[in-house]
Amino acid sequence: MTDKTFRFNDYHSIALEKQKVGFRLNATATVTQLEEFDNTFIAVSMEGTDVAASDNGRMTWDKDDKRGFYLERVDIGISIDDPSYYVAVDSPATTMGSESTTSSSQLDLNVNAGTFGPVPTGGVAAGVAIGTSFSVSLNDWRTENNSRNAVIMHSLAMAASEGAPYESAEDLLDTSVGGQFKGTPLYKVPHISIANLPVLSSGIFVSKGKQYRDTVLSIGVTVRLASVEKTFEVVETKLDTSSAQKDFKLRYPLPISLVK
């Protein structure tokens, strides 16, 4: 058995009004090859990666009539620059946020039978386990799995403010009976939407036939931020990215040298 692990670290930030939005990449890719398998396995984990709407935990505006900028959505796409590979397993699944959400992408390589599949509930059956499993707290956020045959695609989206479910910026307006007595203020956003939000994503690529060519692992991240301003008791959400919504995209082409 031959293992080779690549570690990728980077920090990227942009200024947005009085905030500094930060993205910290911490990714690993482990290449595994065994004589008994006519495949190359590449296990990818984003454990330790996070996004912060503000590096000091404070938004530019945080009043009852205006809040922002806060994290609204993070999209992750991971692919291998080689059509020989497909996604065998990836995580997390689509789920509503909870106190602890797990990203578990592991395969049990049965050396005797020359087969591989998900790790059984009781542990490794008759071989070697590859991949990773890690958990993070994602209160008030949900996960979406849109992975395809050759691309890992995960999204994290804000699912609740501190007062109500959240689908879009309009949902920050408190139209409850109690809220109307207070002039329909804007709900506060959960602090995880302002400070470091852990990025939950992992998966294992498997080649059709053992590969020896160097390749490129591409990680793409799109971060969406939003601000909401209440005008005459109406939430105004302009799609102008300079005022109410802001996306920034990062792409990391990461070289991987396979075992020769």
Length of the chain: 260
Tell me phi and psi for residue 238, to 5 degrees.
-80, 145
Over residues 73-82, the mean pLDDT reads 94
pLDDT band (50, 70, 90) for residue 239: very low
Q: Residue 114 and residue 88: Cα distance in Å, rounded?
A: 16
Please report which confidence band the pLDDT of residue 137 belongs to, taking 50, 70 and 90 as the band edges.
Answer: confident
What is the layout of strands, in order, in the sheet containing 115-118?
Answer: 115-118, 101-110, 127-136
Strand, helix or coil at 164?
A: coil
What is the reported pTM?
Answer: 0.88
pLDDT for 126: 61
Q: Tell me how far apart the alpha carbons of residues 72 and 53 are, in angstroms, rounded to a whole number.
A: 9
Q: And the tokens for 233?
A: 């008791």
Indicate if the pLDDT at residue 174 is higher than 50: yes
Q: How confident is the model at residue 254 (pLDDT cuts 50, 70, 90)?
A: confident
Report the pLDDT value the prediction gives residue 237, as an integer from 0 to 100.
40
Does 71 score more than 70 pLDDT?
Answer: yes
Q: What would the DSSP string read from start to end of 4-52?
A: EEEEEEEEEEEEETTEEEEEEEEEEEEEEE-TT-S--EEEEE-TT-EEE
The C-alpha atoms of residue 102 and residue 12 are separated, in whole angstroms, by 26
Say if CB 90 and CB 46 are below 8 A apart: no
Q: Domains along the chain?
A: 2-256 (2.70.240.20)
